Structure 1
Amino acid sequence: MHYALNLRTFFYSHYFYLGLRFAAGLVGVTLISLQFTNLHTAMTVCIGALCTALMDMPSPLRHKFNEMSASVLLCSFVTLLISLCAPLHWLLMVMLVLISFFACMMVVYGKKSMPLQLATLFIMTMSMEHSMTASQSFIHTAWFTSGAVAYLAYAMGVSWILRHRIKQQVLAEALFELAHYIDIKADFYDTRFNLNEQFNKLVRQQSVLADRQQASRDLILRAHLNAKDAIVVQTHVCMLDLYELVLSTHTDYAQLRLHLADSPVMTTLHDLAWKCARDIESVAYDVTRKKASYPEISYGPELDAVEAELAALQARIAAGKPQQEALAVLRAQRNKIRAIIRMIGELHQASQKAYATTPFWVDADMGPFLSQQKYELRMILSHLRLDSPIFRFSLRVAMAISVGLAVAALLPYAAHSYWIVLTIVIILKPSFSMTKQRRTDRIIGTIIGCVITAVVLHVISNMAVILAMLVLATVATPTFIYLRYRYAAVAVSIMILLQMHLIAPGNNDLIMERLVDTFIGAAVATAFSFVLANWEYQSVPRLVRGVLEVNLRYMQASFDLLQGKGKDDFAYRIERKRLMDSLAGLSSALVRMLDEPASKRRAVEDINLFIVQNYLLVAHVAALRAILRRHVVELPTEPVNAMLGISHDQVVRTLSQALDPQAAYIHVEALPDAPAADAVPWSGWPLVQRRIRLLQADAVKIIGYSQAVLRNIA
């Protein structure tokens, strides 16, 4: 279950704060405008505030101002344009289609542009019902803009006051997702769970975790001006280091189960991982409550049980039983888990006070770690071609809205055609899987919302109670819109239907008409989700190549770090982030493909194995780094660096071969073992050699899986 759906953490999450901020701003702007205008004008002001509020998300203050200002300007322009065109029906229809097309083209700017697209299409649909003179159109737009600007000023003020609080909440969300990631890894020690299914879950969660970590970076690393900011910076960096340690815990779980399946130590390892997840959650919970975090979980009994099992294995080996492999695997897991427990302790410490120094970024350019905000016209122009998925999506929406308007004109009752259009806009998304999920949530949410509204209006006549329900729905809508859209659909249906009842009471068919309009809009959106569709398999070759290219750069940065060629790990962190982002993008495409029709699913298993193998390379590098740190005292630098250099050359050749289009049809021989260690006494030789062999072997497997992906898609 998502952490924000748990009552213990819900009221501390940024989702709940967003709902409160949204509702307070919307209700406040409306009530103030009612003091100076009539109800109709106040609703225009309210809609202006609502369109700007759709852009009110956790963002750096400068980005938030740019995003919300863009919403104010664009939505005001669309309001004026549609109002001026409304008296001429044919011109209005043309403008609705054109605006729909260009609004959808804004998707080229990434996820942050999706609320702007929705706000633009929302105000377009809300403005199409009103026929005005030219002078009335300008006055109407002025009132709309005043509401938009008022909410902009309010939101920026609140966000400035709560800027540190928002950083804490976004950081806490990333920590909660890391805890969930460890929960999935814990089940690898439970023989009841299938290893392949667990890997699939792990890869999916890795995609979510990468997204939350990026949101945390964007807010925390842009500016840290005081001691309170320094604490969240320290905690954030400690979280990333902990994540790398968690990656390094990957082992051959099949071998672990083979050797220790009958031993209670497997349950002990599971319990240790589970406790680590709870410990991280306790840090996240304290961060959301603006408190320093202190350790409360004891790992002693489980660690003692592991030590007892290691002693028992040593005794069996001394008695002549072949238990060396089991001993080596268990000892490695013990060492890694101890390192993770120590790092969680540092995570607690990082939340307690600001320290004098901040690691790795003093005078460094944080740009590579941060999302860049670029809104350039040439980006849209470059996608004005039929093979562009965004261009095809824009055409699809424009055609669907045209059909929705035509159907609305034929309905026998006095339909509000904007409801059909709005349903199409909300449901029809760039990918088929997103459209499918949004359609289900929209229909179910609307039905539940209509039923609740009908019961409320039938049972309750007290205006104060109805207004309280309206405010509650207004809070719930933005709270759940990015958390559980189905809940948001319930809330928004209640909110709009109650508003309609208050503005124009007496329409007994209002709820039934809204249901019919929703089903019509959903049917049109579903039909057009197959028109000029962009299936996920079409983008997979590009994404696979992107992963391989980034992995090559990551391997270069990794071996430079392992060989001590750089003064710090800054370049390594950048390339690790880029690789995780590229893997998350491919993983997201795979998840979306699984929701597409069976005929459009291609190379699903091969894509999944390709993702897993790249993930294993990251895990091996993290493990090598942990081994070198653990044995740094007696480390024989020159021979170890020579071994790492040879391994690096072999891995780079392998990944380069995977990038070669001609390599799809050639036989690949296994790489030779790592060179024998020099005659230098060092306890880390067996561990380093083993990890290098695994790294090389998994690099070779990447060639096979990338070939299989390309063959099956072609």
Structure 2
Amino acid sequence: MDFQSLKIHFLRYVSGTDFSKAVILAFDMVLKVSVAYYFDAVPIGISLALGSFLVAPSDVVGNLKHRLLGMFSALFLGVSITLLLAFLNFNIWLSLPIYFVIIFGIAYISTYGFRASLVTFTGLIAFVLAFAKLGGDDILLHVTLITLGGLWFILISSIYWLLRPEKHQELLLGETAQLTSEFLSIRSKLGDKENRENWLKEQFNLQIKINELHESLRENLIGNRKSSGKSNSSRRKILVFIELVDILEISIAHPVNFEKVDELNKEYPEMIEAIENLLHLMSKRLTEISEFFIDGKTLKTNSEIVNKLNHLDHLIETYKETAPYPASRSMVLLMRNLLSYEYNRHEKIQSIERILGAINDRNKVSLGHKKIEQFITPTDYSFSILKENFSLSSTIFRHSLRLAIVMIIGILVGNFFHLQNSYWILLTIVVIMRPNYGLTKERSKHRIIGTLIGGAIALGMVLIIENPWIYVCFGVLSLILAISMLQKNYVGAATFITLMVVFLYTLIQPNAVNVIQYRIIDTVIGAVLVIIGNKFILPAWEHLAIENTIVNAIEKNIAYLKEIDSYYHNKEKLSNSYKLARKEAFLAIGNLSAAFQRTSQEPKSNQKQYPSIYRYTVLNYTFLSSLASLGTFIRTHKTTEASIYFETYVNHILKNLEVAMEKLNKNVKLDYDEKLSLDDAEKFLHTENKKLHTIRDQEIKDGYREISSDLRVKMQEVQLISEQLKWLHQVSLNLRNIKNKVSYERLF
């Protein structure tokens, strides 16, 4: 990485919301402790600072109502746990059963989703810090000060959010544009037959991140519309987001049938090379759009993409003139369809450019979407969610039990060996333990590496430097860096957390070596307990639960197929139900890809069904790609009326998917009709194709060298739709015929 790249990354880091929130938290905590120190009341300052620290994890930008609800809930839970544990300060053997119930109850709150999991984290941190006895003897004063400190932090963080309401949205849009750019770049490499499988896996992982960003943007842009929807700038950002979603759909849509691509590459490699170059240019343009949002760069006009599109058009004409005719006609239609997708994608990019050119204009902008709030994924906070998950078949239930058991073991280990600051063991368990094995193992490794690096750096510094004010400065800096890196660079976060702890304790205890030593020992003990716990205590292996995720992906693909079918028949204004079905299908395949990734991280002994899971994942993704291709073409072209033979293919596809779900222990009854056979449908499509070719042959005989635009569109329609229908049927048949189905085993 060169100096310029490092400079850009650094500037993005310090201008990001993670860094600014870390600065606010650090400033707030240091100010409270410093003022208290000045008045010789350090315990009061620590209690006030602890209130900020407990609320901060739930300070995630999103819907204002949900954000405040999360922060107040975190504060209430943190104070309640602190107060409760203060009154449980009696014989440890009598306390352990109560500790177990408390830990389980706190962890079980995360059943309600991501924001609830942040509240859970606060509750667990409050539980751990209660063992540190930071509040002195007056527990009522301590919890009162924690409450006041937390309320103060909610106030200042809300003021900050109100002063910069759109900054986080801009960063999310910029990051989405950047990842979409990377997605295009990967698609351009799928022509490489030898490395295609690796690129497809990388594409799966990238789409998981894109889906997460899409969900965050829906909540930020649409969820806050009551307060910001009147702003034309906010409306334009929503329009940019919509175009980015469409670009992703078009990118997924082609190429779908790689056999055709390989055939084209063999016969006419110049075309594939030109398309790859075009994709690189579009990817570069999306990167420039991301820089507009993230870095505030000016978006300059660029005609390279238009020139490359014209070049592609010229290549097609050259092929028509040089290739043997009429045998080359099907290949020309394929190239025309590929070019059509590129034009559609370019139109979306141009639309974003126009929107950004007038991002702050005051003229009113219509979103053209009624009930746009439907696109936000709702969170159900009803008691029924807790009731439904209160079973050993629930991953969160098992995780809550496992966490409670491992933390009780951690308490016993600390007491038995009389370890200094043994609550660090509990802190390590809380921070790195996750419901699935793969992520827990990865975080354990990162935690240990970060702790060792931080310990080594801290040891070197305290041996060389003996100035307490330098310790204070480095401690504050480490706090800022640790908090800002917590979400995206856990090794770095663990390193700076260790540095902060060492510098803090060095101010209290002169023997820094002992602090570092116990810090490392406690971290290693906690990490080992977590790894053993996740592997042997009520393990929730992904391959045992992935069956439902596969079924969900198939169901969402079916819903998307039905919406495309409906739109093809009616050809009216695109409904919200179509877009919702597309969104749900994208999210479902993202969830399946994430589940597959977690499966690949599990021990080799648990990966006996890995080939089947991989096949299910790839086939569902291929099916979605073909659906996106079909839907995009129908939406962007003037098509003929859908025939009964189209329905014939759809019915047979639904029948195959019904059988596939039955093999996955999902009894469903899909609505389909088998009056006509596939042979009938194929004969009809062949006849229609032949009719159009006959018309074209007659045009040529009559001296019309250039094909009429109407006939060209009809020929493209017959070729692409027939091709996609056959491909969808083949993929559905492959899903139906997977021999080694994912077996469902009891989780208990």
Normalised by the length of structure 2, the TM-score is 0.87
1:243 aligned partner: 248
Q: State the alpha-carbon separation in 1 of the partners of residues 529 and 462 from structure 2.
A: 30
Offset of residue 80 of structure 1:
0.6
Q: State the alpha-carbon separation in 1 of the partners of residues 596 and 7 from structure 2.
A: 26
- Which residue of 312, 334, 343 corresponds with 2:318? 312
Q: Which residues in structure 2 correspond to 1:132-171 (within 5 Å)? A: 136-171=138-173
Q: State the alpha-carbon separation in 1 of the partners of residues 423 and 489 from structure 2.
A: 24
1:521 aligned partner: 526
Matching of residue 183 in structure 1 with residue 188 in structure 2 = no
Offset of residue 127 of structure 1:
0.8
Q: Which residues in structure 2 correspond to 1:319-334 (within 5 Å)? A: 323-334=328-339
1:198 aligned partner: 199
Change in Cα spacing, 1:215 to 1:103, as seen in structure 2 (3 Å) is same
Offset of residue 154 of structure 1:
1.4
For structure 1, list consecutive stretches of 5 or more residues without a partner in the other structure: none
Partner deviation per Cα, 1:173-232 (whole Å, 9 max, x = no partner): 2222211211211111345x5222222222222222111111111100120221221221
Counterpart residue type for residue 348 of structure 1: E
Q: Which residues in structure 2 correspond to 1:264-303 (within 5 Å)? A: 264-289=270-295, 293-296=299-302, 298-300=304-306, 302-303=308-309
Aligned residue pairs total 702
Q: State the alpha-carbon separation in 2 of the partners of residues 3 and 373 from structure 1.
A: 39
* Deviates further, 415-424 or 504-513: 504-513
- Using the aligned pairs only, state the percent identity: 17
Offset of residue 649 of structure 1:
3.2
Counterpart residue type for residue 106 of structure 2: A
Matching of residue 683 in structure 1 with residue 712 in structure 2 = yes
- Which residue of 87, 101, 104 corresponds with 1:101? 104
C-alpha RMSD of the superposition: 3.0
Offset of residue 664 of structure 1:
11
Counterpart residue type for residue 162 of structure 1: R
Change in Cα spacing, 1:662 to 1:376, as seen in structure 2 (3 Å) is closer
Q: Is the 8 A contact 2:557 2:585 kept in 1?
A: yes
Q: State the alpha-carbon separation in 1 of the partners of residues 666 and 737 from structure 2.
A: 5
1:215 aligned partner: 216
Offset of residue 709 of structure 1:
7.3
Offset of residue 358 of structure 1:
2.6
Partner deviation per Cα, 1:147-193 (whole Å, 9 max, x = no partner): 211111111121122112221122222222211211211111345x5
- Which residue of 586, 591, 602 corresponds with 1:596? 602
Change in Cα spacing, 1:630 to 1:555, as seen in structure 2 (3 Å) is closer
Q: Which residues in structure 2 correspond to 1:582-661 (within 5 Å)? A: 582-632=588-638, 635-636=639-640, 638=641, 640=642, 642-661=644-663
Q: State the alpha-carbon separation in 1 of the partners of residues 438 and 12 from structure 2.
A: 30
Structure 1 SS opposite 2:570:
coil
Q: Which residues in structure 2 correspond to 1:376-455 (within 5 Å)? A: 376-411=382-417, 414-455=419-460
Q: Is the 8 A contact 1:441 1:489 kept in 2?
A: yes
Offset of residue 535 of structure 1:
0.6
Change in Cα spacing, 1:373 to 1:662, as seen in structure 2 (3 Å) is closer
Change in Cα spacing, 1:162 to 1:278, as seen in structure 2 (3 Å) is same
- Which residue of 723, 738, 742 corresponds with 1:708? 738
* Deviates further, 642-651 or 263-272: 642-651
Q: State the alpha-carbon separation in 2 of the partners of residues 507 and 202 from structure 1.
A: 47
Partner deviation per Cα, 1:321-357 (whole Å, 9 max, x = no partner): 9544543333322222222122111111122225644
Offset of residue 602 of structure 1:
4.0
Matching of residue 57 in structure 1 with residue 60 in structure 2 = yes
Q: State the alpha-carbon separation in 1 of the partners of residues 211 and 600 from structure 2.
A: 21
Q: State the alpha-carbon separation in 1 of the partners of residues 283 and 538 from structure 2.
A: 44
Counterpart residue type for residue 346 of structure 2: I
For structure 2, list consecutive stretches of 5 or more residues without a partner in the other structure: 668-673, 693-709
Change in Cα spacing, 1:615 to 1:267, as seen in structure 2 (3 Å) is same
Structure 2 SS opposite 1:684:
helix
Counterpart residue type for residue 420 of structure 1: I
* Deviates further, 250-259 or 701-710: 701-710
Q: Which residues in structure 2 correspond to 1:492-531 (within 5 Å)? A: 492-530=497-535, 531=537
Offset of residue 546 of structure 1:
1.5
2:366 aligned partner: 358
- Which residue of 123, 133, 136 corresponds with 1:120? 123
Change in Cα spacing, 1:104 to 1:702, as seen in structure 2 (3 Å) is farther
Change in Cα spacing, 1:710 to 1:366, as seen in structure 2 (3 Å) is farther
Structure 2 SS opposite 1:525:
helix
Change in Cα spacing, 1:652 to 1:85, as seen in structure 2 (3 Å) is same
Change in Cα spacing, 1:13 to 1:337, as seen in structure 2 (3 Å) is farther
1:486 aligned partner: 491
Q: State the alpha-carbon separation in 2 of the partners of residues 543 and 359 from structure 1.
A: 33
Q: State the alpha-carbon separation in 2 of the partners of residues 3 and 21 from structure 1.
A: 25
Counterpart residue type for residue 310 of structure 1: I
Q: Is the 8 A contact 2:471 2:507 kept in 1?
A: no
Q: State the alpha-carbon separation in 2 of the partners of residues 709 and 96 from structure 1.
A: 48
Structure 2 SS opposite 1:361:
coil
Offset of residue 4 of structure 1:
12
Q: State the alpha-carbon separation in 1 of the partners of residues 36 and 181 from structure 2.
A: 46
Q: State the alpha-carbon separation in 2 of the partners of residues 703 and 527 from structure 1.
A: 42
Counterpart residue type for residue 197 of structure 2: N
Counterpart residue type for residue 735 of structure 2: Y
Change in Cα spacing, 1:114 to 1:423, as seen in structure 2 (3 Å) is same
Structure 2 SS opposite 1:523:
helix
Counterpart residue type for residue 446 of structure 2: D
Q: Is the 8 A contact 1:15 1:483 kept in 2?
A: no
* Deviates further, 92-101 or 253-262: 253-262
Counterpart residue type for residue 199 of structure 1: L
* Deviates further, 382-391 or 514-523: 382-391
Q: State the alpha-carbon separation in 1 of the partners of residues 134 and 10 from structure 2.
A: 46
Q: State the alpha-carbon separation in 2 of the partners of residues 149 and 82 from structure 1.
A: 22
Q: State the alpha-carbon separation in 2 of the partners of residues 539 and 241 from structure 1.
A: 31
Counterpart residue type for residue 577 of structure 1: K
Q: Is the 8 A contact 2:425 2:522 kept in 1?
A: yes
Q: Is the 8 A contact 1:610 1:706 kept in 2?
A: no
Partner deviation per Cα, 1:526-575 (whole Å, 9 max, x = no partner): 11112110111111221122222222222111221222365433111101
Q: Which residues in structure 2 correspond to 1:655-674 (within 5 Å)? A: 655-661=657-663, 671-672=678-679, 673-674=681-682
Normalised by the length of structure 1, the TM-score is 0.91
1:698 aligned partner: 728
Counterpart residue type for residue 140 of structure 1: H
